[in-house]
Amino acid sequence: MTPMKEARKRLGLTQNDLAKAVGASQAHISKLENGTEQVSPDLAKRLAVELGLDVVKILYPNEKH
């Protein structure tokens, strides 16, 4: 599970909740969590703020942090 998905679940947010909060689609959030799309730096910043994560964990979810 990616740091983004872990944080989203910990906060009790659905993909749709998160998508609305950051101005993205639910489908895009799903693809980011599944690793089938890469996140833009701008969206990564918005996700990091919303989820309370370091932006590096959003940009590089498979790296050891």
- pLDDT class for 62, splitting at 50, 70, 90? confident
The answer to the question of residue 64 being in a domain is no
**37-61 average pLDDT score:** 96
Burial 2-27 (b: 16+ CB within 10 A, else e): ebbbebbeeeebebeebbeebebeee
Owning domain of residue 47: 3-59
Mean pLDDT of 13-23: 99
d(CA 14, CA 5): 10
Q: Is residue 9 part of a domain?
A: yes
Instruction: Work out how many domains the chain is built from and give that number.
Output: 1
| Burial label, 54 (beta-carbon count in 10 A; 0-12, 13-18, 19+) | exposed
CATH of the domain at 32: 1.10.260.40
CA-based nearest residue to 21, from 8, 6, 10: 8
